[in-house]
């Protein structure tokens, strides 16, 4: 293992990363079959960044440069599962030394572990028996009869847990308060939402559940987004609060009811996205999202929307078109919706594409033949960002007319329409809906007849 770690150090130096800023994780495990995975926390979920397969002695390790100071996770198996996952607080220069036992427990080993992880380990030791009951339910067969009393004792002990445990790291000393709050909530909600041999009535829930309010956790994104299971917890809290309020899902207003428990608009968007993943058709997707588009605020949420929607698309006439947004030659962003009340013909092309260039004279003639008609011609270059000057020169040299847009690779529009090759031509109606997502080429006489027929009707 030492040889592998030394190679990693060399790579870090080659990349210009100061070795003293790296985090070093060394460990041992009793599981020799599965790789140990290292996760960062991204928007309230786990995102794997590396994995290491233990050697025959059960040793594994990581060298990496942390993107942030905060929680990271080591574990096995299903990336979003609570099982076989262990939280650690890491910052530059930290050295973490651990031992993983039976995939469900960990201990700190050696003397190199930070004060932050020593405190986090003490919190883990206080809650691990509760975690075993809540998370590893298939092993412990715990029911509410034994879990609720144990939970109330742990909640009471948590109130005095931090006395005398300040680390001198103000950021961690503030974060651990949130970690305690979030850990207790995820264990409580996970317990009542997993299979048991006996389930309590809502009136039998222990006192702690009455303190868990989704609105308290969702005032802003930071609490949810900085926690490894933040999004999962938010959904669980919404379900809990609805159950406590004796609310039942309705066919028409179930999602609207859920969003009432979430005060932050960005987190509302995350709740909507979680439900959209179960949608099976384009029509149902459009119907469900129509009233919630204002909540898709972050770039990541917008990418998720496309990732969910694209596999459902049929590109039938009347389907909503992709509302692209790209700059023109002057740098002004233009979108499909800018051309409302006009038919729109779109050409997807690139300066390196010979078949695209071959179609330009035919496109120019078509523009002249249809001059004065209620149609806008838009050409979208999917050249790479580094080739923008080449694109500008071609506009000038070939006297390209119509609206010329530069997409810097255009991966979003290529993905949306599943375009594997260019040129590609499309026609949209005056309301931004698809007429043809794969229209004839300008060199085909059928195209002019088709457009003329569309405009005349």
Q: Can you give the pLDDT at residue 400?
A: 95
Q: What is the pLDDT of residues 160-213, one digit of tens each?
A: 999 999 999 999 999 999 999 999 999 999 999 999 999 999 999 999 999 999
Q: What is the dihedral of CA 208, 210, 215, 217, to 10 degrees?
A: 0
Coil, helix or strand for 42?
A: strand
Q: Can you give the pLDDT at residue 281?
A: 86
Question: Is residue 11 predicted with pLDDT exceeding 60?
Answer: no
Cβ neighbours of residue 171 closer than 8 Å, sequence gap 6 or more? 69
Q: Can you give the pLDDT at residue 102?
A: 82
Question: Is residue 249 predicted with pLDDT exceeding 80?
Answer: no
Q: Can you give the pLDDT at residue 108?
A: 96
Coil, helix or strand for 395?
A: helix
Range 246-261 average pLDDT: 79
**Apex CA 166: angle with CA 165 and CA 168, to 5°?**
150
Q: Can you give the pLDDT at residue 17?
A: 44
Question: Is residue 9 predicted with pLDDT exceeding 70?
Answer: no
Q: pLDDT over 70 for what percent of the chain?
A: 95
Q: CA–CA separation, 195 vs 182, rounded Å?
A: 22
Q: Tally DSSP H helices, then E strands, for the chain.
A: 16, 15
Range 285-290 average pLDDT: 84
Q: Which residues pair with 74 in a beta bridge?
A: 38, 86
Q: Can you give the pLDDT at residue 14?
A: 38
Q: How confident is the model at residue 280 (pLDDT cuts 50, 70, 90)?
A: confident
Walk me through the domains of the chain, giving residue ranges and CATH numbers: 1-113 (2.60.40.1120), 325-456 (3.40.30.10)
Question: Is residue 35 predicted with pLDDT exceeding 60?
Answer: yes
Q: Which residues pair with 81 in a beta bridge?
A: none
Q: Can you give the pLDDT at residue 252?
A: 56
Using only C-alpha atoms, the chain has a radius of gyration, in whole angstroms, of: 28
Q: Can you give the pLDDT at residue 6?
A: 37
Coil, helix or strand for 424?
A: strand
Cβ neighbours of residue 386 closer than 8 Å, sequence gap 6 or more? none
Q: Can you give the pLDDT at residue 138?
A: 82
Report which of 60, 61, 35, 59 is spatially closest to residue 48, judged by C-alpha positions: 35
Range 323-341 average pLDDT: 95
The residue among 21 and 211 whose pLDDT is bigger is 211
Range 68-73 average pLDDT: 97
pTM: 0.79
Q: pLDDT over 90 for what percent of the chain?
A: 81
Q: Can you give the pLDDT at residue 246?
A: 87
Question: Is residue 149 predicted with pLDDT exceeding 50?
Answer: yes
Range 87-107 average pLDDT: 93
The residue among 16 and 38 whose pLDDT is bigger is 38
Range 42-49 average pLDDT: 96
Question: Is residue 251 predicted with pLDDT exceeding 70?
Answer: no
Range 119-131 average pLDDT: 97
């Amino acid at each position: 293992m030492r040889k592998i770690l030394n190679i990693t150090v060399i790579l870090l130096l080659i990349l210009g990363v100061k070795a003293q800023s790296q985090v070093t994780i060394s460990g041992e495990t009793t599981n020799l079959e599965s790789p140990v995975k290292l996760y960062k926390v991204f928007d309230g979920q786990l995102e794997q960044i590396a994995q290491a397969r233990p050697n025959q002695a059960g040793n594994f390790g990581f060298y990496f440069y942390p993107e942030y100071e905060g929680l990271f996770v080591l574990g096995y198996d299903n990336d979003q599962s609570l099982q076989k996952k262990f939280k650690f607080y890491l910052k530059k220069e930290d050295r973490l030394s651990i031992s993983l036992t039976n995939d469900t427990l960990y201990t700190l080993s050696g003397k190199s572990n930070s004060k932050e992880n020593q405190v986090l380990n003490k919190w883990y030791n206080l809650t691990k028996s509760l975690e075993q009951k809540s998370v590893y339910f298939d092993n412990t067969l715990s029911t509410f009869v034994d879990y609720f009393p144990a939970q109330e004792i742990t909640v009471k002990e948590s109130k005095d847990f931090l006395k005398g445990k300040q680390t001198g790291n103000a950021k961690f000393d503030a974060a651990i308060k949130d970690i305690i709050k979030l850990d207790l909530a995820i264990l409580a909600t996970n317990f009542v939402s997993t299979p048991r041999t006996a389930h309590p009535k809502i009136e039998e829930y222990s006192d702690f559940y009455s303190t868990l309010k989704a609105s308290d956790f969702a005032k802003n994104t930071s609490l949810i987004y900085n926690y490894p299971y933040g999004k999962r917890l938010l959904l669980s809290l919404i379900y809990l609060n609805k159950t406590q309020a004796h609310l039942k899902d309705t066919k028409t207003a179930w999602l609207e009811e859920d969003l009432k428990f979430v005060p932050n608009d960005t987190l509302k968007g995350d709740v909507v996205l979680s439900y959209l993943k179960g949608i099976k058709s384009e029509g149902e997707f459009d119907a469900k999202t129509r009233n919630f588009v204002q909540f898709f605020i972050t770039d990541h949420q917008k990418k998720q929307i496309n990732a969910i929607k694209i596999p459902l698309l049929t590109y039938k006439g009347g389907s909503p078109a992709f509302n692209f947004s790209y700059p023109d030659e002057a740098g002004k962003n233009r979108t499909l919706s800018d051309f409302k009340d006009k038919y729109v013909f779109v050409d997807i092309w690139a300066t390196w594409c010979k078949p695209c260039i071959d179609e330009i004279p035919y496109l120019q003639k078509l523009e002249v033949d249809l001059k004065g008609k209620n149609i806008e011609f838009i050409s979208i270059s999917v050249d790479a960002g580094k080739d923008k000057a080449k694109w500008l020169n071609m506009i000038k040299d070939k006297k390209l007319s119509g609206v010329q847009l530069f997409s810097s690779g255009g991966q979003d529009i290529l993905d949306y329409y599943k375009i594997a090759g260019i040129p590609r031509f499309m026609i949209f109606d005056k309301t931004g809906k698809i007429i043809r997502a794969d229209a004839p080429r300008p060199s085909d006489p059928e195209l002019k007849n088709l457009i003329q027929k569309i405009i005349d009707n």
